[in-house]
Amino acid sequence: MFDRKIEAAVEKALSRRTIRPDGKLTLEGYHPLPEIMGALFEWLLIPFQGADILVQVRYPRSAQLPDVDKLYTVINKEKEEKKLSRQEMIDIMNIYEACCRAVLNNPTFEELEMEIHGRDRVRLNDLKLLETLREKLNQVTSDHDRYELQKEIDEKELVTGYTLPADTMLALTNIALGVGISDIKKMTKDKLKVAYSKARLYGQRPSDFIGGLFTDGDRQNIDDYATLIGLEKDA
């Protein structure tokens, strides 16, 4: 009886430290996302224009993802409350779409895109409005009115240029990057400064001095940003 109580107490303590579906203890260091999750495939409910749909995701390795450095650069720019250019917005959406392609397994990205195409009433209405705005632009003579109208057209083009809804693309991108699983969001400038200083002192990488659980793709990002912050401090 006493042994069973001890066993139950130990299992309870271990369960609080477990995030993996296979029951293994939380890992430390840098690992591919499938290894962190303890699975390559998983069925998940993801948002779809405010509702939820069930899809099977494939947890990717960092090598299977697009170059997300640009994404992190833009995110940092947004944090500094700087306005993004149209090209930066397009770059972000292209990265989102590439992440969706890498993550969706059943249905595939192409299958989901075909299912939506021609049936999404909101997108069809936006496409019709975009066509009307373009026709109107040809008739406007005022520079101010043309500028405002072109801004509206640019915004609509961003919305209609991608088939999947924004909430779906964001959710799948977060899954691809291991957001909420990795400790990357816990990084601070102070931690990165210390890691950079230690790396220079011991001739190692800044990421060698950052504790926590990270994807294999996080390692290079930590090294890059620690070095950037460290060089700014030394300048």
What is the per-residue pLDDT for 17? 44
CB 36 within 8 A of CB 60: no
* Residue 198 placed within a domain: yes
What is the per-residue pLDDT for 25? 53
Least confident of 22-31, 113-122, 123-132, 137-146: 22-31
- Is 70 exceeded by the pLDDT of residue 23? no
**Tokens 């939506």 sit on residue:** 116
* Residue 8 placed within a domain: yes
CA distance 24 to 15: 9
- Is 80 exceeded by the pLDDT of residue 223? yes
DSSP SS3 for 18: coil
Between the two ends of the chain, the Cα-to-Cα distance in Å is 66
* Residue 97 placed within a domain: no
Residue type at 139? Q
Residue 234's domain spans which residues?
Answer: 1-31+182-235
- Is 90 exceeded by the pLDDT of residue 55? yes
* Residue 145 placed within a domain: no
Tens of pLDDT, residues 148-198: 888 888 888 887 888 898 899 999 999 998 888 888 888 888 999 999 999
| Residue 23: both structure tokens together | 């029951």
Least confident of 2-16, 19-33, 38-52, 111-125: 2-16
CA distance 89 to 77: 12
- Domains held by the chain: number: 1
CB 92 within 8 A of CB 74: yes
Tens of pLDDT, residues 127-151: 888 899 898 888 888 888 888 888 8
Tens of pLDDT, residues 205-221: 999 999 999 998 889 88
- Is 50 exceeded by the pLDDT of residue 106? yes
What is the per-residue pLDDT for 16? 44
Taking all residues of the chain, what is their mean pLDDT, rounded to a whole number? 83
* Residue 107 placed within a domain: no
pLDDT above 70: percentage of residues in the chain:
83
* Residue 167 placed within a domain: no
CB 109 within 8 A of CB 100: yes
* Residue 61 placed within a domain: no
Work out whether the CA dihedral 100, 104, 110, 111 comes out positive or negative: negative
Q: What is the pTM of this model?
A: 0.75
* Residue 139 placed within a domain: no
CB 195 within 8 A of CB 221: no
Annotate 20-82 with three-state secondary structure.
CCCCCCCCCEEECHHHHHCCCEEEEEEEECCEEEEEEEECCCHHHCCCCHHHHHHHHHHHCCC
- Is 80 exceeded by the pLDDT of residue 64? yes
